[in-house]
C-alpha cells in the first residue's frame, strides 16, 4: 500500500541517488590524490608497468585542483544530506498529523 509513497511525495529518491553519486566522486578524487602522492602507483601493489597514455591514471595530477573538487563535492554532499533529512522529517510530521 505504501510502496512508492515516499518517491511520489518527496524528492527522496533523487536525493539518495545524488548522495550515491557524490560518494563515488569523492572516492575517485581521493584515489587520484592518493596515487599522485605515491607517484602514480598503488600503495599496496608491487611496482609494475607504468600507466598507458590516455588512461585515467596517466599524466600529472593537479593536487590543488583535486582538493578544490573534493571540497566542492563535500559541500554538495552535505547539502543533499540536509535536504534528505528535512524531507524525511516533513514526512514524519505529516504521518503523525502535527
**Domain parsing of the chain, residue ranges:** 9-40+60-96
Least confident stretch, 40-49, 73-82, 83-92: 40-49
Output 38 or 55, whichever has higher pLDDT. Answer: 38
Average confidence score pLDDT of the chain: 76
Burial class, 45, CB count within 10 angstroms (exposed 0-12 / middle 13-18 / buried 19+): exposed
Q: Give ∠ CA 66-72-73 in degrees, rounded to 5.
A: 90
Q: Which candidate, 83, 77, 68, places its Cα nearest to that of 29? A: 68
Q: What is the pLDDT of residue 34?
A: 82
| Whole-model pTM over 0.85 | no
Amino acid at each position: 500500500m505504501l510502496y512508492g509513497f515516499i518517491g511520489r511525495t518527496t524528492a527522496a529518491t533523487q536525493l539518495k541517488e545524488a548522495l550515491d553519486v557524490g560518494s563515488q566522486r569523492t572516492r575517485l578524487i581521493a584515489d587520484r590524490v592518493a596515487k599522485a602522492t605515491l607517484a602514480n602507483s598503488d600503495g599496496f601493489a608491487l611496482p609494475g608497468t607504468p600507466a598507458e597514455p590516455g588512461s585515467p591514471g596517466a599524466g600529472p595530477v593537479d593536487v590543488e585542483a583535486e582538493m578544490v573538487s573534493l571540497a566542492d563535492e563535500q559541500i554538495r554532499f552535505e547539502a543533499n544530506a540536509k535536504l534528505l533529512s528535512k524531507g524525511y522529517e516533513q514526512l514524519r510530521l505529516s504521518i503523525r498529523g502535527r
